[in-house]
Structure 1
Amino acid sequence: MSRKVVRTSKFRHVFGQAVKADQCYDDIRISQMTWDSNFCTVNPKFVAMIVEASGGGAFIVLPLNKTGRIDMSYPNVCGHTGPVLDIEFCPHNDNIIASGSEDCSVMIWEIPDGGLITPLTDPVVKLEGHSKRVGILILTASTHSQH
């Protein structure tokens, strides 16, 4: 006679509920470019996702309250000549986002408060000089003390 061993789990009393369709983001063409980074990032104002784009890299930035079906013509952020590999919001300013690309550059973008109305093609800053593609961005919140 064998005994079944049942492991106790801290999740055994957790129950979920499916999210309604109007609370989801739908019809977004997420990039198929695989890399060790995330394909999305979020902050208290926006969610950003790397999307499929022809002729370079792009990502979409949506206000958190813009849910449901996202029209394919929704404006995106595009300025890289190669696929975007990683995106990351600034920890100090919710409207600033950085993107790293296969084109060996990092671009810093400023998103308007209400989100994008037209495509954003001009970065605030373009950082060039990397000898290899930029696949991972790490933006940290550092504090400086003065003596």
Structure 2
Amino acid sequence: MSFRKVVRQSKFRHVFGQPVKNDQCYDDIRVSRVTWDSSFCAVNPKFVAMIVEASGGGAFMVLPVLKTGRIDKSYPTVCGHTGPVLDIDWCPHNDHVIASGSEDCTVMVWQIPENGLTQSLTEPVVALEGHSKRVGIVTWHPTARNVLLSAGCDNVVIVWNVGTAEELYRLDSMHPDLIYNVSWSHNGSLFCSACKDKRDVMPLLTPG
């Protein structure tokens, strides 16, 4: 039996990506060099957010999707954290709401103005405090409004009610080591967390 008959060829084998022109790129942005396994970038239909270098704290930049080209070094940032920002995630239910996790052990939720930033944003809508070490993962619930998950170097996963700044669920005894990643199921009834100890945990969330 030939190899061609065993492996189905991809229908995309003749599709090739084309790089965009320079004037359609974002240029001269000082992306953060903090050593953390993060994408450093989050995008929704209106904005692109990028974690950037900042002195005296942590910051990320929010740009309208169509604002391409060279970005001025004085462009305003979201800069309310006292430590480097490690992860950011846009709310799936509101294109103007974004969450951030930081080395300062906090999670913050921000409201971005309709037309983007005209001055630096230093006051979050809500600050969530429950981790004892840096927070490297933040991810919104895919279907429920105002529900946000965070995971930190304290090996703790917390599910928050952002509207009341209260903990809905805390997973603090399952992982003995660093949590690498957390992902929701498509309807948000489950989430899976992966740890340095090579074990996965998948809690079932029930209303109440």
Give me the TM-score of the superposition, normalised by structure 1: 0.88
The amino acid that maps onto 2:38 is S
**What is the deviation of 1:60?**
0.1
Q: Kindly, what percent of the aligned residue pairs are identical?
A: 71
Alignment of 1:92-131 (within 5 A): 92-131=93-132
Indicate the RMSD between aligned Cα atoms, in angstroms: 1.8
User: How has the CA–CA distance of structure 1 residues 9 and 53 changed in structure 2, closer, same or farther, with 3 Å as cutoff?
Assistant: farther
Gaps of 5+ in 1: none
Tell me the alpha carbon deviations over residues 66-123 of structure 1, each in whole angstroms, 9 at most, x when there is no partner: 0000011000000111100000011110000011000000011000011000000011
2: CA distance, partners of 1:37 / 1:18: 23
Count of aligned residue pairs for this structure pair:
140
Partner-residue secondary structure (3-state), 1:22:
helix
**What is the deviation of 1:63?**
0.4
2: CA distance, partners of 1:72 / 1:136: 27
2:56 matches 1:22: no
User: How has the CA–CA distance of structure 1 residues 29 and 9 changed in structure 2, closer, same or farther, with 3 Å as cutoff?
Assistant: farther
2:75 matches 1:77: no
Choose between structure 1 and 2 for higher RCO, CA contacts under 8 A separated by at least 6 residues. Answer: 1
Stretch moving more, 107-116 or 125-134: 125-134
Q: Deviating runs (4+, > 6 A) in structure 1?
A: 5-8
8 Å CA contact retained: 1:36, 1:136: no
Whose strand proportion is higher, 1 or 2?
2
2: CA distance, partners of 1:27 / 1:9: 40
